[in-house]
Amino acid sequence: MNLNEKVLTRADRMILGGALLTLALLHVLGTASPWSWLTLAVAVGVLVLGVWRLWQLFKEAAARRRGPASRA
């Protein structure tokens, strides 16, 4: 892999950063907060989106390693 190649795009960084910020907010609010169910739902949604995007990045990296014939 070329070291100058961008691995995470701006959108990827926003998704993963949003997941971390949401988890931090959930931790600060704690379970006694009336907003905890809402922040938990948002955190789970953002984390699922982040994990899905990372899975896509790994698949793309594996396809690049295998070569152009495997991308069809």
54 domain residue, yes or no: yes
- Judge whether 56 lies within some domain: yes
pLDDT per residue over 38-53, tens digit each? 767 777 787 788 788 8
Domain that holds residue 61: 36-67
Question: Half-sphere exposure (CA, 13 Å, Cβ side) for 34?
Answer: 0
Q: What per-residue confidence (pLDDT) applies to 12?
A: 74
In total, how many domains does the chain have?
1
Quote the tokens at residue 62: 């594996």
Give domain status of residue 13, yes or no: no
- Residue 4 has which token pair? 């100058």
What pLDDT score was predicted for residue 14? 77
| Predicted confidence (pLDDT) per residue in 3-44, tens digit | 445 666 777 777 777 777 777 776 776 655 666 677 677 777
* CB-based burial, 34-72: b 16+ in 10 Å, e otherwise: eeeeebeebbeebbeebeebeeeeeeeeeeeeeeeeeee
| Residue 42 placed within a domain | yes
